[in-house]
């Protein structure tokens, strides 16, 4: 039976960064929550619209959510993904892509410069979390949280190495905790801060104030791409968690999900069902 492969970044890595780990055959998936959203969101839309995952007329690859353009191959369908600022000068192994939407105008410009046709449809599919689930469903029985601090995975590793990582009692949620646990913590929060892009995206989709903390590990390309793709020409990242908490959230998001939902490639499953409003 043909299958649509929802491509996402989740490599298996050594269980330790110590030199000895190279000689141990055990590997563990990264399970960074933001990179796991793509398959979840695709599955939720199919359920919502009554589309059978097994109805695809042919096997295809769909890239949805994340800075995973480097994973694209000829013939792939792209919906809401972006380029990674770390790999802008890398070799890309594609000349023909089926692009339905991209995260923002920076990714669109990057692709168009390489001869790829890209519609002017923007938005990170993580912004659909609030539409597809809603705050109460995600929160479940999670207790109230004044603030949630969610660093980018690489920033958290760096902070742990130099002893500056926030503690659980300070609101820290690790981005590699089970994805529903992370989403529940965000949904229970009054404020979300950190350098995890999808912590900001999900919080804003739920109407929760959010403030980016400038990343020491990640180029600003994906952050600018997201903010511009959601209709904002500027944003003000905080230098520290404390500064982010003091500043509070960015101005409320003014973005509608209609265009991104309409661009969802339901035809890959042989369906022409219109996006539910």
pLDDT number for residue 192? 98
Cβ 203 vs Cβ 252: under 8 Å: no
pLDDT number for residue 128? 98
Residues of the chain with pLDDT under 50: 274-277
The encoded tokens of residue 131 equal 């539409």
pLDDT number for residue 275? 44
Q: Name the pairing type of β-strands 60-64 and 98-102.
A: unpaired
d(CA 137, CA 79): 25
Note the CATH number of domain 130-247. 3.40.50
pLDDT number for residue 10? 73
pTM above 0.85, yes or no: yes
d(CA 71, CA 83): 10
Angstrom distances, CA of residue 29 to CA of 13, 55, 110: 6, 29, 30
Angstrom distances, CA of residue 238 to CA of 195, 212, 251, 261: 10, 6, 14, 31
The encoded tokens of residue 148 equal 């949630």
Cβ density class 144-160: b for 16+ within 10 Å, e for less: ebebbbbbbbbbbebbe
Domain ranges of the chain: 4-128+257-269, 130-247
**Cβ contacts of 172 within 8 Å, gap of 6 or more:** 149, 150, 151, 165, 166
pLDDT number for residue 22? 63
pLDDT number for residue 11? 64
d(CA 126, CA 270): 24
Dihedral sign, Cα of residue 87, residue 90, residue 92, residue 97 = positive
User: Tokens 């972006």 correspond to what residue?
Assistant: 82
d(CA 128, CA 164): 33
Span 237-257, pLDDT tens digits? 999 999 999 999 999 898 999
Q: Name the pairing type of β-strands 12-14 and 27-29.
A: antiparallel
């Amino acid at each position: 039976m043909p299958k649509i492969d929802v491509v996402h970044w989740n490599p298996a890595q050594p269980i330790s960064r110590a030199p000895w780990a190279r000689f141990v055959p055990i590997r563990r998936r990264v399970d960074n929550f933001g990179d796991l959203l793509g398959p979840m969101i695709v599955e939720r839309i199919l359920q919502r619209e009554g589309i059978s995952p097994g109805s695809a007329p042919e096997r295809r690859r769909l890239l949805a959510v994340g800075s995973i353009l480097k994973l694209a191959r000829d013939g792939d369908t792209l919906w809401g993904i972006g380029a990674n600022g770390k790999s802008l000068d890398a070799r890309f192994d594609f000349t023909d892509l089926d692009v339905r939407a991209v995260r923002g105008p920076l990714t669109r410009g990057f692709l168009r410069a390489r001869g790829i046709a890209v519609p002017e449809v923007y938005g990170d599919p993580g912004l659909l979390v609030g539409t597809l689930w809603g705050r109460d469903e995600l929160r479940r029985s999670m207790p109230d949280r004044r603030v949630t601090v969610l660093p980018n995975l690489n920033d958290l590793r760096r902070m742990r190495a130099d002893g500056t990582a926030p503690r659980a009692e300070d609101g820290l949620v690790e981005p590699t905790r089970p994805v529903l646990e992370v989403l529940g913590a965000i949904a229970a929060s009054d404020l979300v801060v950190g350098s995890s892009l999808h912590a900001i995206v999900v919080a804003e989709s739920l109407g929760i104030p959010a403030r980016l903390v400038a990343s020491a590990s990640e180029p600003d390309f994906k952050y600018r791409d997201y903010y511009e793709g959601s209709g904002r020409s500027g944003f003000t990242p905080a230098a520290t968690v404390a500064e982010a908490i003091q500043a509070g959230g960015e101005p409320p998001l003014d973005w509608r999900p209609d265009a991104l939902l309409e661009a969802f490639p339901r035809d890959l499953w042989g369906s022409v069902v219109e996006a539910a409003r």
